[in-house]
Amino acid sequence: MAKILIADKLHQAFKEKAQRLGYIVDDCPQYTREQTIAAIHDYEGLAIRTKFRIDREIMDAAGKLKFIARAGAGMDNIDEDYAKQKGIACINAPEGNRDAVAEHTVGLLLSLLNNLRKGDIEIRNGIWDREGNRGFELKGKTVGIIGYGFMGQSFARRLKGFEVNVIAYDKYKSSFSDEFVQEVSMEQIVNHSDVLSLHIPLTRETRQLIDDEYVLHFKKPFFLLNTARGEIVNTSAVLRAINEGKILGAGLDVLETEKFPSLGEQPWFDDLINSGKVLLSPHVAGWSVESYRKISEVLGEKLEGLRLS
């Protein structure tokens, strides 16, 4: 029977589904990259989250590998082009965490608009400043979404009750206007957005998309939300735009460099954490209690749909 190596921490729902489909599953979340390379020759399937990159070295060591299952949405930690060359199928599960991402993004936005973090910190430090924490209402604002896949669509749906104007640009889609969003050009995004929310994968095209030049094109100050991938945003450019009043606030669940100690060594780190207009979370937008299970359930369903030669 075909064997699957789970080399990362996944909810048991995926393993249970794979076993019902007849696979032998070795659940080894403690495996390092080196241990995975040493063992992968014996497996037809590999399941991973984000522990390490699945590159040529790993795929070349995996003589029997038929598929890679990514427990999450983004595929930037997998060399998909090389997998395709080798006839290795790649599956992921953006459907599993779209609700978590959408709700987290709304939370970031409302917190920024209403100075919730700033007000909380001040009260804990003996400061009672009503005027300095006067917020903005979301109603009537224009929210621009870049990327109208599972995440962008789910975020747009959450905004419906706030009576906002939601516009979206997606380079790879057309004719997607619906009751939640109006399809627009990138020019319209920068001309009209009061809020910009990113829901695109990390690719050669999107890396460092949000830089000084991009921000310069916006016609009015805006709030920036990034729950996609950190490297889409040039952090130094965002901090400069905040200082200049071009960006009113930034909610960042992802950063160009993540995890310590590397994060603390970045030249922009001190400015980032000392900015009162930046709200940070540790790449958890799509990582809710519920999504942990749903991701594995979706991945199991897609495993069932695979046709392996």
- By annotation, the residues acting in catalysis are 229, 258, 283
3-state secondary structure of 247: strand
Give the integer Cα–Cα distance in Å for 221 and 242: 9
Cα–chain center distance at 207: 13
Specify whether the CB–CB gap between 97 and 291 falls below 8 A: yes
Tokens encoding 53: 């990159």
Which residues, in sequence order, are CB contacts of 259 under 8 Å at separation 6+? Answer: none
Nearest to 244 by CA among 226, 218, 268, 265: 218
Distances (CA, A) of 285 to 74, 89, 107, 216, 291: 13, 27, 10, 28, 10
3-state secondary structure of 117: helix
